[in-house]
Amino acid sequence: MVVKVVKRNGSVEEFAREKLVTSILKTGSDLCTARELAEEVERHFAGRDEVKSEEIRSKVLELLKEKDVRLYENWIVYDRAVKKRL
């Protein structure tokens, strides 16, 4: 079953692991780590029909913080600078 992602604006799209890998790579992560973390996120939400993008973001931040706090901090900086999130 394909998990649907409910975005902040209310639109819905299919979960795309590679899109998440790309986001994680922007933290400075290597490709192997980015894929590993994206797969872990995908497994975490696999039993659900839909998930909010904010839930995915929170899970990614949790995993980044566990893996390497610098990657976590880089995600936060990117969110503030590019996506204008606090």
Tell me: the pLDDT tens digits for 39-57?
Answer: 999 999 999 999 999 999 9
Listed as ranges, residues in the chain with pLDDT below 50 are: none
Cβ 4 vs Cβ 49: under 8 Å: yes
Which two structure tokens, joined as six digits, stand for 59? 């899970």
Query: pTM of the entire structure?
Result: 0.89
Cβ 75 vs Cβ 61: under 8 Å: yes
Sign of CA dihedral 85, 69, 30, 47: negative
